[in-house]
Amino acid sequence: MSRENLITESFRLVRFADRTHLQVRSVHWDGHIPYERWHTVSRRRGELQISDFAQQVERRLGDLRFFATCKECQEFLARGWMHQVDLCQACATKNHGVICGASRRGRRHLHPHG
């Protein structure tokens, strides 16, 4: 995913009265169902645009709680799509036989003793 797309889908602005809140999305799993949470990471007075928060966006993009780079495919992704901090789910599945996210329940079914 391009950095621009990642920013577009992972950050949003919410207005509260005279302030603009910058929020960053995190993705979590409830079994095989992904869900999102939004975290306010900056609040400033005025009607601002995402470009006004460029520094805060940069800082969060470098925050391993939210984003990381896969060591195998070099994709820069939200942590919710990572199998571990340096390995994405796609590579975990493709290169290591790990079954992630959507298939977790199926895995238990397929390997009842494992």
Task: Enumerate binding residues for Zn ion (CB under 5 A).
Answer: 70, 72-73, 88, 91
Q: Nearest approach, Cβ of 36 to Zn ion (angstroms)?
A: 21
Q: Which is nearer to Zn ion, 73 or 102 (CB)?
A: 73
Q: Which is nearer to Zn ion, 38 or 76 (CB)?
A: 76
Q: Nearest approach, Cβ of 5 to Zn ion (angstroms)?
A: 16
Q: Report the 3 state secondary structure along the chain.
A: CCHHHHHHHHEEEEEECCEEEEEEEEEEEECCEEEEEEEEEEEEECCCCHHHHHHHHHHHHCCCCCEEECCCCCCEEEHHHEEECCEEHHHHHHHHCCCCHHHHHHHHHHCCCC
Q: Nearest approach, Cβ of 105 to Zn ion (angstroms)?
A: 23
Q: Which is nearer to Zn ion, 22 or 77 (CB)?
A: 77
